[in-house]
A and B are shown apart, each in its own frame.
Chain A
């Protein structure tokens, strides 16, 4: 029998210059190749289809688009699991560790997406631990105190707990805000993304994560792949399998791609005259305790969120991050 052709629109929250957008396109290419051109996914940039990125899940569940990749933090205040599944404090440092983390909490994340009316497929975009970019020298937590940083979501709470102030500014105003000193710094994903927005031109100090102690955010799943449930259920089983395996393949491909780019762009920052420093040993305890407290405060929001956090304790221990594991265990008691 002649197989039906499926044309899907995919919403993302990236613009075309973002490496993650390449991961999305790579995924679409894989699906197209493996289905012999029977499943075509057209990837759209942030806002290109008219709805704000925070509304991507609503648009998917209504069938305005068939599929999407989504950053869970956009729903942080609506659902504590969504907050925890995005960028959050923690020790996870690279792709392999992240894969283990996803396995540990996958059921909980999938059911959170279900509450928003979409079908969870899997992680698709890997995100490196985040850096803190500043216009003034940073040598440790003492320099963070009193500064004004652009940060959102859990990062805002994290930096507040360290004594900084968090403000919201839209992306379009960040460059000039750094240039003119309206803000002292910002947190905006990894070296690559920060470089591409031109921040290296106007901010010359970077606080970078180290293994065992990231700053605000550990290596996080930057985006999950989701489908409209009706569309997914109608998709033939073999194509479903292809979508799932392509998602896993793109995730792995992107993990390497993004990690390598991040190394490359770290060097570009340094070449542009940036001073890249790490936190001194004596600050680690405070980072861990602030991070664990923050996560625990989300655990109190719902039984699912609590489950999520409880799974982190053995996971971190298994990965060798004893101090983190102990700290969170202490907070959750």
Chain B
């Protein structure tokens, strides 16, 4: 039955029904038919759950910070400066997007926050400098997923407590896996840019050194904001969620200090924040309802059945596990997947003498893919919610190469476990 549920969802999405309501509709219909009144009750609870999610308080704060920097012109100033400074480095803006994605990862685990932040601050700069659209969109989406694997990562905490392994070591593995992915993205961006010179411009003439040094002043402000957010976390002043509030305040102060804080800039930023937060959270509410109905009507039983029907060989288990996480990830939210699948898959994988830390990192990496794979890829929707003028099929096409790169990175980490365990050994001395 859950598979029929997926098929109907797919159909509803295709007829252009807003994703949030497609998820609600399928939850209502299937919840009612196969669970009865209880199914309807959990649809309400999906919204209530989201409304009480403390970690997501950081979402409006992050979006506001980004919108403020964008509307006040400070983001454009920053990225144009970086673009000029990096001169002949082809694809520099896309590479910077990846670096920013990694940095945001150290501040937050909320992908909605990372994707909308990057879409707000870097995408306009890429458009301005005539970057290839697909490269721009793809790199932002790939970068926007990194926060879920770069610690702090809520999924890793859930995995750690369910599988009974060290959170610190998982985090160390996450730092590594995130780094490997980021490097893969950067290599791809650099190579693609090299082969498509006409579509990834660089500045024509050399900028004199003095001008370059003078332009550094445009970097200092945003740099201080980033240091402020990271600093407030790593000095123990604030939790990551709280740090986004510190970041929003610092941005307000900086924009005010630069005399760019007009009533218009403030109002526009606040309105964008409202819209993007509302869009993302309504999708997540509906997604939460959908996951509950999936579980309530026997989703987990089917997964266990599928797994036990396979011949218990090492390779089938690994491939099946990867495939199932990937498949569920198309429809179900990652925290639910972690909770349902960790107790089912992890004992089997570990019974083949695989390292549980390594598997945890792989598990969480596979979950990232779910954010950027069609049909239901939350990251894709968040991007569209910010960049309304970009069409959905363009987003799908743009993200494809990055899905492949990410997948390759994961496969390599699967074939060579030491690539992740090295980081665990070096960084994981907790």
Contact = CB atoms under 8 A, between A and B. Distances in A.
| Touch between chains A and B, by CB atoms below 8 Å | yes
Interface string B143-169: 000000001101001101111101110
Given A9-B296, A65-B38, A196-B161, A52 B343 contact: no
Interface string A153-186: 0000000000000000111110111011110000
Nearest to A51: B45
Nearest to A172: B154
Given A50-B45, A201-B430, A63 B157 contact: no
Nearest to B151: A176
Contacts of B160: 196-198
Interface string A53-86: 0010001001111000000000000000000000
Interface stretch (A41-49, A105-113, A114-122, A279-287): A41-49
A136 to B, nearest CB: 12
A47 B339 CA distance: 9
Nearest to A174: B157
A175 B49 contact: no
A300 interface: no
In terms of DSSP, what is the predominant structure of the interface of chain A? Answer: loop
B37 A201 contact: no
Interface stretch (B60-68, B176-184, B269-277, B285-293): B285-293
Contact of B41 (A9, A62, A170, A173): A62
A49 B295 contact: yes
Interface residues of A, number: 37
In terms of DSSP, what is the predominant structure of the interface of chain B? Answer: helix
Given A17-B162, A50-B46, A176-B152, A170 B54 contact: yes
A64 B292 CA distance: 12
Contacts of A202: 168, 430
A180 B231 CA distance: 11
Contact of A15 (B49, B158, B301): B158
A230 interface: no
B340 A17 contact: no
A64 B430 contact: no
B427 interface: no
Contact of A175 (B163, B167, B340): B167
A15 B162 contact: yes
Contact of A170 (B46, B55, B158): B55
B278 interface: no
B241 interface: yes
B167 A182 contact: no
A104 interface: no
Given A50-B46, A50-B292, A51-B49, A64 B157 contact: no
A16 interface: yes
A44 B295 contact: yes
Interface in B301-349: 301, 336, 339-340, 342-343
Nearest to A58: B41
B239 interface: yes
Nearest to A50: B292
B339 A49 contact: no
B239 A52 contact: no
B233 interface: yes
Contacts of A64: 37-38, 41-42
A8 to B, nearest CB: 12
B49 A52 contact: yes
A64 B55 CA distance: 27
A25 to B, nearest CB: 10
A156 to B, nearest CB: 17
Interface in A13-32: 15-18
A59 B52 contact: no
Given A15-B162, A182-B238, A175 B157 contact: yes
B232 to A, nearest CB: 10
Contacts of B291: 50
B162 A16 contact: yes
B16 interface: no
Contacts of B37: 62-64
Given A198-B168, A201-B167, A180 B233 contact: yes
A60 to B, nearest CB: 10
B45 A17 contact: no
Contact of A48 (B48, B167, B340, B430): B340
B354 interface: no
Contacts of B295: 44, 48-50
A333 to B, nearest CB: 41
B164 A196 contact: yes
Contact of B161 (A15, A47, A170, A182): A15
Nearest to B343: A16
Nearest to A48: B295
Interface in B220-236: 233-236
Given A50-B46, A196-B161, A182 B430 contact: no
B237 interface: yes
Contacts of B233: 176, 180
Given A176-B152, A176-B240, A201-B167, A48 B235 contact: no
B55 A52 contact: no
B49 A172 contact: no
Interface string B339-367: 11011000000000000000000000000
A175 B170 CA distance: 12
Contacts of B164: 17, 196
Contacts of B238: 182
A201 B166 contact: yes
A33 B430 CA distance: 44
22 contacts: A17-B162, A48-B292, A49-B42, A50-B49, A50-B288, A50-B293, A50-B295, A55-B48, A59-B38, A59-B41, A63-B38, A64-B41, A64-B42, A169-B239, A172-B152, A175-B157, A176-B151, A176-B233, A180-B233, A182-B239, A201-B167, A201-B168
Kindly list the 3 A-B residue pairs having the minimum CB-CB distance in the complex, ordered from nearest.
A50-B292, A181-B236, A198-B167
Given A64-B37, A172-B154, A175-B168, 11 more contacts: A15-B162, A16-B162, A17-B163, A17-B343, A47-B339, A48-B336, A50-B291, A50-B296, A64-B38, A173-B55, A196-B161
Interface of B: 37-38, 41-42, 45-46, 48-49, 52, 54-55, 151-152, 154, 157-158, 160-164, 166-168, 233-241, 288-289, 291-293, 295-296, 301, 336, 339-340, 342-343, 430
